[in-house]
Amino acid sequence: MANDPLTTLYRRPGFMIRRAHQIAVALFLEETGELKITTTQYGILFVLEHRPGIDQVSLAKLLGLDRSTTGMVVNKLERAGLIGRATVSRDRRRRSLHLTRAGEKMLARLAAPAERAQRRVLSALAPRERMAFLDMLDRLTRSHNGTTRVPLGAHRSADRSGRKRRSARPAASTRSSQSSRPSQRWSSE
């Protein structure tokens, strides 16, 4: 296989990252299949649980999504009754987003299968390699975040309480024992 010219392509970081993403999405859909929720929909539901009342533009920035994709997904989730919109009193052009009761129930139902999908993705690595792998991916995405068409919002520099982080390790990976919910890093797939 070393002499195969395609090996050069298959070892390119971009190719491998795209394949890893395809695999992660496929495993998520296998685990959550009966619920008919995509990884992007899950990410939006997850953010709305933790940032109720956020507007659509801010939501897009937190997930690194373009506005048109965010709009389409938000519309679909609203039609499904999983999220609602309300006009912001001080700016009638802006609409805040929130989970409905059905959305809260759906997110609760997604917690275990999403966690299983995350474990399956990382199962190819030895336990001691998993955190190092996630830390390297985090470093790679942070260092190149500004070069993308839709950079991830600046919220990642602070933990949920608003304090600046002291280490480069993402808050989501340090709280895995505190919550049965999957980390936010998987929500943007």
Domain assignment present for 1: no
DSSP state letters, the chain: -TT-THHHHHTSHHHHHHHHHHHHHHHHHHHHGGG---HHHHHHHHHHHHSTT-BHHHHHHHHT--HHHHHHHHHHHHHTTSEEEEEETTEEEEEEEEE-HHHHHHHHHHHHHHHHHHHHHHTTS-HHHHHHHHHHHHHHHHHHGGGSSSPPPGGGGB-TTSPBPSSSS-HHHHSTTT-SSPPGGGGG-
- Domain around 130: 6-188
Q: Which tens digit of pLDDT belongs to each residue from 36-70?
A: 999 999 999 999 999 999 999 999 999 999 999 99
Domain assignment present for 110: yes
User: Residue 35 belongs to a domain with what CATH number?
Assistant: 1.10.10.10
Domain assignment present for 42: yes
Domain count, the chain: 1
Q: Which tens digit of pLDDT belongs to each residue from 89-105?
A: 676 677 899 999 999 99
Give the separation between CA 175 and CA 50, rounded to whole angstroms. 15
User: Residue 170 has what pLDDT?
Assistant: 35
Domain assignment present for 160: yes
Domain assignment present for 119: yes
Domain assignment present for 60: yes
**pTM (two decimals):** 0.76
